[in-house]
Structure formats: structure tokens, C-alpha cells
Amino acid sequence: MQRIISFLFFIITIGLLSAQNVTISGYIKDSTTRETIGKAQIVVTPVKTTTIPSDTKVSPDFRASTNGYGFYSITIPQGKYTIQIIAPSYPPFAQTITAKANEEINFLLIPEVEGVGTVIIRSKRNNNVKSLDISTQSINGQTIKKIPAFLGEADVIKSIQLLPGVTTVGEGASGFNVRGGSIDQNLVLMDEAPVFNSAHLFGFFSIFNPDAVKDVELVKGGIPANYGGRLSSTLDVKSRDGNKRAFQANGGIGTIFSRLTLEGPLAKPESKKLLKPRSTPAKSSFMISGRRSYIDVLAKPFLPDNLAGSQFYFYDLTAKANYSYKRDNIFISTYIGDDVFKAAGLFGVKWGNSTVTTRWNHVFNKRLFSNFTYYYSRYRYNLEFTNRDVTFNWKSNIVNNSAKVDFNYFYNPKNTIAFGAQSTHYRFIPGEAVAKSATLNLKFGLPDRYALENAIYISNDWNANGKFSIRAGIRVSQFMYMGPGKVYLFNREPGKQGILDSMYSTEKGQIVANYINPEPRLGFKYQLNNNSSIKGGYNRMVQNLHLISNTAASVPFDVWQPTTNNIKPEIADQIALGYFKNFNGKHEFETSIEGYYKTLQNQVDYIDGASLLLNELLEADLLTGIGRAYGIEAYVKKSSGNLTGWVSYTLSRSERQVVGINDGNWYANRFDRLHNLYVVSQYKLNNKWEFAANFVFSTGTPATFYTGQYTVQGYVVPDAGSNARNNVRNPDYHRLDLSVTYTRKKTKKFESNWVISCYNVYNRRNPFSIYFATNFQNKGQNEAIRYSVIGAAIPSISYNFKF
Amino acid sequence: MKFLFNQIQRNSFIILLSGLATFLAGCEDVIQVDVVNKSPKIVVDAFVNNTLDTQTIKLTRSIGYFDSTGSEPAITQAQVAVVDQSTSFPKLFVFNHTANGKYQFLPNPVTGDTFSIGHDYALLVVIGSDTLVSFSTLNPTTTIDSLRLVDVEGNGPPINTTGKYVELMAKDRKGPGDFYWVKTFRNDSFLNNISQLNISADMGNTSRGQDGDLFIYPVRYNGVNDFSRSFKSGETVRIEIHSINAIAFAWFNLVVSENQNGGLFATPPANIFTNVVSFNPNKKTAIGGFFCMSAVTAASVTIP
């Protein structure tokens, strides 16, 4: 480990030799809304008369890309250059400049307008081949909206689930699995703040409103050092800034919910000299976007009488405001959402996330960009039920407050350095319950838990000679489990339930357990030619928050636990290697094939019969084991022409070995799927009609089935035999979805379309789970029951508008 | 309480999702699944008590999950004995095979062939080359003050039927570490539905630290009644409190949770442990079942 670290420091610091250059820096923005554009590629090609000194020569051209806030900086020798900017959904942009002195240049890109002439959606022009990112996929809001969706509602997570390496346990399961990792191993960020449950309605929809989303990036491997805290992936969701030039509204009316987004400039345009104030952007803008379901209203006729007074809805609200002044940008964004289910007089459940993020971008100088973030994030759920005259109310929370700072230092054409630090305070309320009646008021629950997590990181993108680039970085994370609270010490035999040895109370701030973990990160790219490259990556990830769940699918009531003196940090090491090639003919194709191998340590599992709810001695019921996951992902994407879309195929395995489970032998994880084929396609017939189709095939997930039974004292004891964990495969999952979009003729001020879609067209009954029950008519006879959450084709219609 | 929470959580979800599933045309259907019970287990059903009734230990082999219960093959050629280890010379109680894998012993107070509270016992079973052994202490049980009859109006779950129900007026023994199995008999037939398996750790739940007083409501009331059938005039209700131990309590809890582990939020099926071990280290004979010695206290009432 030490050798790896010193090697990394060598890589980070190598080649920080500068020459006499000029720096061009600034922002890249959308010309209509003035929203910044992240991850845009800037290609700077010297014109023939410009000679480049050999020590700064990196390749035929210089390259840079904007960071997440649309800022770029590139240092080049003095001379004349052609600047090309390539960003998804924007036509290629080119301009010639003369670089004499340091200069600030902001570029405005004109978005591709649908329905005007025969404009084709351009691909990123080899962005995938030329960028250093491996195992990274980004989708923007527009693409998400084009995929046929469940009940006609475009969805961020559902779109992510069609990418290579991403799977889900099934309809009705929250979250997603990346490269054989469990759902809690994905860091889901909404404007930098982590979201602990990304599901509405048991995972049928995600909490991200596509109207409010600017872009989404999923990083599955070679994870850069600025991300940390989860083992498998990072899903970075960025919300839109809001139109800085004009007021705009868009929304939709769907089968399940309706949505509305309002956005516009907040302050008056800066310059009064201009005759057309509308054309000058304001210094600040806002965006507010909301959704509310009315499934409760629609479901009412179908509900049994005793559930007639039921509440059954979810809502979410995303809002953002920003203000820019010279070298500073300030953003405040918030998300609030809840799912509420209430059956009158019986029970009620409610769960939801809320986040608040404030960010301040400051450009110190032309090469040093900084971002300061403070966020608050909370996930909570409440459960209430009434048993005759006694009412139980139970709640659980995870609250965190975090401050972080990130710097991008565009040192020279060959080196871009990112560094920063983060500190997060966590409060866990694992369970607080109150039982109330006329005569009773009983409070009980589990003690709160506290933790502090700190991290520092540094990473350098080093472009060695134009062909070979390296991204090397290191993140050092520290996790302190601390008081006030109760600490439990157990006597443990491997694979057995722990026996309480002693326990003691801790003072506020008293450190119970402290873990420091270096997390080296490495990525490289070797450019074979303009159209192809080989990329590889290694990352070590450490995770200190654990979602405690032993049900088949994750449910909103699963409890988050910190790393403690008994629960060790989870650690994953992953290597990934990929070949990327693009075909740029009449039709443009992006292709890639990637392989990965991952090992995992300290994976949390459970003793047989573990009880996870309101169990003070929960840690005694936890077991730890090791895991491994490996696979190959193939991906072909067509991004030009009338027919666009992608095909992705993943061959993968995800396994685990835990002393005390499955007789200590390796077994397949609950979400292991060997084959995964996703086909996503859109066909644009003309400006009015657009068709789309999805096809999904996945090998069935494994499940544990009882094989035998016996009777003791008249009670049937079911039995799974030896080597039984996940001994059987559920049937394969496959499904076809279709949709048609009819766009009405656009007027100057108003645009609208109708989307008619059908989910699960050929009526497949994909099992969510297979479970066993005793047939009551024939007592003593067990049977296997297939439960399909969606057992039929689900048609839907929705109407979307924008003005 | 924990158990209650699990139950309610699961139930709420099922109601919730079935509501949702109705809307989404979700469905359930019975399918054929091929599972093979590769190597049947030897099953020891050995709950022995200190009453003067005939004591029975049953030996069978496990059957396939989709076979009908009651068809378990009996083990008839075994030797079965319980040994009292607390007497100065270990005292042997031999159980003889009667029929269908049942091995029986009739206590005799005249000769002193009875099981005593506080004594440690061992179970010995010899089946061919397998020698099985298990240990259990006969713990003391508590006393029953009375069985109280209550008139209740049934107005929906959990009490559906109006009529007479019974309340077990009994206190947990002072001091922590007492475990009980409460068995209710209606006209001498044991209410053996799994949902009525009624066990208690001290007053009901050790983690709450409740000790030495009346059993909690779920034990003394919910657990002793079948709320779909109130007691009718002339019927007799008998309630027995059997002392068990911590391991038996855990074992019963697992039997309950595995039997009710169905539906959407099922946890992976797990094998329930046994406290019977094989002496033969070379041969891996899989064993299921349980050995427990109990003291019994009982009370009965006839509905007027």
C-alpha cells in the first residue's frame, strides 16, 4: 500500500514544469438560458502559422473540458488558434482567436433546435474516446425524456437502469445495483448533497424530477478522488440553474402525477444601455419545480372498503436560485419530497428526503477555480399504526451536515490538479417509538448515534505526451464513531450471534472508534488514434454508512447504520480496463467494451433469523464477509440520424462468502444477474411523430427456497437443507416498452406534445419474488407462489407543455 | 414488541402493495417449482415434562417441502433414553417404541421414576451407527392465580366475534431469566396454530426489563384466545404454562418467523438450529428438532 501511495505522489507531482504561456479561461454557457454547460470539451488547435515549442507540445491540439460549473481554463503558448467546443445537444462550435495575453472568454453555445430544418443530434465527437473518464456514463435531461417510461413518466433512475453494468432486483425495488454492488453502495448526489433513498412509490419512480435535472453522470469505475464514501458508484445529479434571460414554464399532465416547472431571471439585466433588455442575461435566476401524484384519487374505486379513507401520494419540490457577480457565483438549491401512505384507522407510513445545498464558486485567478459547499441532508420515515385503542408511532432518521471545498487548478496544458477537503457530521436516529392510548404513554427506542467523517483528496490529470494520459489521485478518509450514546461489546464466535459482554455510555464528542483509510485512485488512457483508445482504472473505495436490510428487495424502512466499534468500514478495490472506438461515417457510432474485477471486504450480512428493527443489540446479529464481482460490458450507441439509441450487454457475476452462511461457501448475491441485454431506440419519423422502444432481458435473480420440512410439537419447521443460500434461480426477466410522441405545431410562445406509451407490451408476468405458503384449503400442503408486481401491459398517456 | 413490529410492518406492506398492485394489475399465481430434499434429516421431537402423563419422544425423517405433512417416515428401530444427571448415580429413563416412531415412558411416583425440577437431563438416542445427544435443565415454572372470563364486543380486527374470552391471570417468577411456553386447550384440543404459539421471556420481553409481574397483555390475553371463535357455554378452557429455557425460546421464535416468512418482504429462508448433536464425528448426519425438559402448571375453567 505504501509503495502505491508514494508512486501516486510521484505521478501527481511529475511534470509540473511550466513555460511562458498565456491562459484563456471562462465559462461556457447556453445562449438561450445562460445556464452553464459542464463537461464540454474545448479543443484548441494551432493554426498553421503558430509554432508550438516542443516542450509544451501535447498533441496536434490542446484539450480541456469544463468542470461541473461550466468553468474552463487552458494554458497555451502565444499564437493563433481555432477553438472548437463540443458538448452534447449543441452543434459543434468553432472560432479563431489570437492568444497574446491572459484572457477571459465566455462562450455561448446555441442549442440544437428540434424541428428546424434537418438538424441532427450530434454526438460528443469522440468525447468518450478522448476523455480520461473510464466506466462513466452521462445522460442529459433531453435523453431521459425520450426513453419510453413506465406510465409515460420519464425517470432518471429508470434511465440509468438501462446502462451497461446497472441492474435492478425488479419492479417494486428501490434503487439500483452497479457492477454487483448493493443499492446502498451507490453515492447518489443531488446538487452535491447525498440522497439516502432515491425512490418514490417503492421504486416505480425516482425522486428526481426530469424537468429540473440538467445532467446526470454515473461513474462505475476509475472513480476520481473527489468522490468517496460509497463502494460501487457515484450518481451525480445536477439541477438546472434556471433561465437567466426569460421567464419560462413547462410541465406535464400524466396518468400518475402532474408536474410544473417555473424559471426565469430574478434581477434586472445588468446593462441598461442595451435596447433589448430581454437579450441580456440577468445576474441571477431561479428555478422551481414540483410534482404531485394523484394515485390515491385514481385508486380509490379499486380499494377495499376498509381502506376507503386512504391517503396514497407522493410529492417533490426542487428549487434553485443563483447569483453571479464578476468572479463569484452563488447557488442555493433545495429538494423536499415525501411519500405518504395512510389507511384510515389502521396504519400510516411516510418517508422522504430533504436537502439544502449552498455553493459559492470563486475564481481566484485564471487557473484556480474553487467551490465551497455546505449542505444539509435528511432522510426520515415514520410509521404509525393503530391496534384497537393503542397507537404506535415510530420514526427513524439520518441527518447529516457537511462542509466541503474543492479546487481545480489548471496548472499547465499537461496538468490539471483537483484537490479539496470535506467534513460531515452524522446523526442517526435508528428508531424512536411511542405507544399511546387513553391510559398509556410508553416511549421506547434506540439511542441515537453520532459520527464525524473527514476526507482530503488530491488528484492530477497528467497528459504525458498527447497519447498517454494518467489521472492519479488519493483520498484519505477518516471516520469517527462518537458519543453521546451507548457502546456494546460482544463476545463473538465466527458465524454466530454475538453475546453481549458489556456496555457503557459515552459522553458527547467521545471517540469510540476511529478509522483512517487511504483510498488510492488511478486512471489512464492510451490514445490509439483519433477514433480509438484504451483506458483503465483502479480505485479503492471505503464506505462507512451501511443500509441494514435482509429482505429480498430494499424497502423504505431499512435503517442506516454507521461504522462502529463492531461494524468495520466496507472496502472495495476495483480494476477496470476498456477499449473505446467510434465510427464516424455517415452514421456515427460510439462503441466500447469494458471489463472489471472487484473485491469487497467487510460486507454486512445477517445471522439466520436476525431481527433488524428496534433491536438494541443489532450489531450482535450482523456478520461480515467478503465479496467479489466481475464482468464484461459491451455498449454500442448510435447518436446520429433519425434512428438513435443504444444496445448494451453485460455479462456479470456478484458473489459473497460469509462464515456462518451457506456453510461458509461462496454464494450468489441477491442481485446477481448473469446476462443483461438492454436495447433503447428512438425513431424520428418527422417533426410531428416520434417512436421509441425499449427491450430488457435479464437472467433471473437467485433466491433461497425451502427444500424440506418436518414437524415438531405439531408445528411445521421448514428446512432449506445444506448449502442453501440462493440455491434456486427465479425465471428470467424480460419486457418490451413502446411509446409514440406527437408534437403539435410549435407557435412562438407555446410548445406541447402528447406521449402515448405502453409498458410491458406483451404482458409478461415477471416475478418480483417467489414465496411459499401453506394452502389453507388443503392444510399441510405447501405451494410456491409467484408474485408479479406488474402482471399486465400498462398503457398510459401524458401531455407536456412549455411556454 | 419487536415481533409485533415485524408483523405489523410486514402486514402494512402487504396491504399497501396489494392496493398498489391492484392498480398496476399485479398478480399472484401458483407455480410449479422443483426442489429436491437431498438428504432427509433425522428429526427429534423431544418435549418432556414433569407431569405424571405418558411422556413421548418422536423420531422421524424430514420430507420434501411440497409433500403433505403427516407423511414423515417414522424411525422405529432406535434406542431412546433420558438420563437424570443431577442424582448421585445417573438415573436412566428408557423410552420404548410404541408405534409410528413414538417412544414412550410412563412416570411412576411410587418407584420415584419422575422428572424433578432443577435437575439436569441428557437425551440419548441411538439410531444404527448414530448416537445423538442433547441436554436440558428442568426449570421451575410459575403459578396460575386464575383464569378470568371477559365479555368482549367484537368490532373488527383483531377481535371479530363477540362473546367470552379468557384472560390468564398469572405472574412471571421474580428475577430475570424465566422462559415460558403457554399452551391453551379448548375442550382438550390444543390450539396449535402457529399464529397462536405463545411464548414469553419473563413478563414478555426481556429487553424491556419487565419482570416479576403479570404477563403482558399479548401473552396473557391475545396469545390464549382465538379471536375468530369466542368460547361458548359449556366449553372448557385449560391453560398450561410450561417452563422452557433461553435456547428453546429462541428456537420457537425462529419457528414462528420462518413459518410467517412469506410475501414480498420475506427474508432469505434460514435453517432452524437444533440442540441435538451427533456423537459420530465422521458421519455428518443432519439433525432437526429439539429437546426440552419442562415443568408444568395448569388451570382450567368451564364456560358457564
Q: What CATH number did the domain enclosing A743 receive?
A: 2.40.170.20
Cβ atoms of A348 and A342 closer than 8 Å: yes
The answer to whether residues A384 and A323 belong to one domain is: yes
Q: Of A161, A509, A596, A555, give the one whose Cα is nearest residue A339.
A: A555
Question: What's the whole-number mean pLDDT along residues A145-169?
Answer: 83
Record: contact B60-A341, CB cut-off 8 A: no
Q: Of B101, B118, B23, give the one whose Cα is nearest residue B62.
A: B101
Per-residue pLDDT reduced to its tens digit, A409-460: 988 878 889 999 999 999 999 888 888 877 778 787 888 999 999 999 999 9
The answer to whether residues A58 and A168 belong to one domain is: no
pLDDT for A193 equals 94
Q: Would A129 be classed as within a structural domain?
A: no
Instruction: Report d(CA A339, CA A319) in Å as an integer.
Output: 18
The answer to whether residues A452 and A597 belong to one domain is: yes
Nearest CA in chain A to B58: A712
The answer to whether residues A709 and A575 belong to one domain is: yes
Name the minimum distance, in Å, from the CA of B87 to any CA of chain A: 28
Q: Would A131 be classed as within a structural domain?
A: no
pLDDT for A17 equals 43
DSSP letter (8 states) at residue A303? S
Q: Would A455 be classed as within a structural domain?
A: yes
Q: Which of A201, A310, A708 sits opposite B64 (nearest CB)?
A: A708
Per-residue pLDDT reduced to its tens digit, B212-247: 889 988 899 888 988 888 899 999 999 999 999 999
The answer to whether residues A98 and A190 belong to one domain is: no
Q: Would A298 be classed as within a structural domain?
A: yes
pLDDT of A273 above 50: no
The answer to whether residues A116 and A200 belong to one domain is: no
Q: Any chain A CB within 8 A of the CB of B37?
A: yes
Please list every residue in chain A whose beta carbon sits closer than 8 Å to the beta carbon of residue B38. 707, 721-722
The answer to whether residues A96 and A169 belong to one domain is: no
Cβ atoms of A696 and A677 closer than 8 Å: yes
Nearest CA in chain B to A730: B33
Q: What CATH number did the domain enclosing A113 receive?
A: 2.60.40.1120
pLDDT for A231 equals 95
* A326 Cα distance to chain centroid: 32
pLDDT for A385 equals 75
Take residue A188 and report the three cell numbers written for it: 447518489
Instruction: Report d(CA A590, CA A684) in Å as an integer.
Output: 20
pLDDT of A563 above 70: yes
Interface of A with B in 73-92 (CB under 8 A): none
Q: Would A442 be classed as within a structural domain?
A: yes
pLDDT for B2 equals 41
pLDDT of B11 above 70: no
pLDDT of A250 above 80: yes
Interface confidence (ipTM) of the complex: 0.90
The answer to whether residues A384 and A443 belong to one domain is: yes
Q: Would A161 be classed as within a structural domain?
A: yes
* A416 Cα distance to chain centroid: 25
Q: What pTM value is reported for the model?
A: 0.82
Last residue of a domain, one of A124, A157, A186: A124
Last residue of a domain, one of A71, A90, A124: A124
Question: What's the whole-number mean pLDDT along residues A473-495?
Answer: 93
Give SS3 for A423: strand
- Give the residue with greater pLDDT, B77 vs A722: B77
Q: Any chain B CB within 8 A of the CB of A611?
A: yes
Reading across the β-sheet that carries A708-712, which strands appear in turn? A715-719, A708-712, B63-64
Question: In chain B, which ranges are E strands?
Answer: 27-31, 42-49, 55-61, 63-64, 79-84, 91-97, 102-105, 120-127, 130-137, 144-152, 163-170, 179-186, 189-190, 198-201, 236-244, 277-278, 287-294, 296-302
Per-residue pLDDT reduced to its tens digit, A359-403: 999 999 888 999 999 999 999 988 887 766 778 888 889 999 999
If you average pLDDT over every residue of chain A, what do you get? 84
Cβ atoms of B59 and B73 closer than 8 Å: no
Per-residue pLDDT reduced to its tens digit, B108-151: 999 989 999 999 999 999 998 889 999 999 999 999 999 999 98
Per-residue pLDDT reduced to its tens digit, A97-129: 888 888 888 888 887 654 332 233 334 456 677
Provide the number of structural domains found in chain A: 2
Interface of A with B in 349-378 (CB under 8 A): 349
State residue A279 phi and psi, 5-degree precision: -85, -15
The answer to whether residues A111 and A250 belong to one domain is: no
- Give the residue with greater pLDDT, A445 vs A510: A510
Question: What's the whole-number mean pLDDT along residues B10-27?
Answer: 53
Domain spans of chain B, in order of start? 42-139+263-295, 140-244
The answer to whether residues A48 and A120 belong to one domain is: yes
The domain of A357 spans 136-802
> In chain A, pLDDT over 90 holds for what percent of residues?
38
Cβ atoms of A419 and A409 closer than 8 Å: yes
Q: Any chain A CB within 8 A of the CB of B108?
A: no
Instruction: Report d(CA B249, CA A640) in Å as an integer.
Output: 67
The answer to whether residues A398 and A534 belong to one domain is: yes
pLDDT for A276 equals 44
Instruction: Report d(CA B142, CA B149) in Å as an integer.
Output: 20
The answer to whether residues A100 and A177 belong to one domain is: no
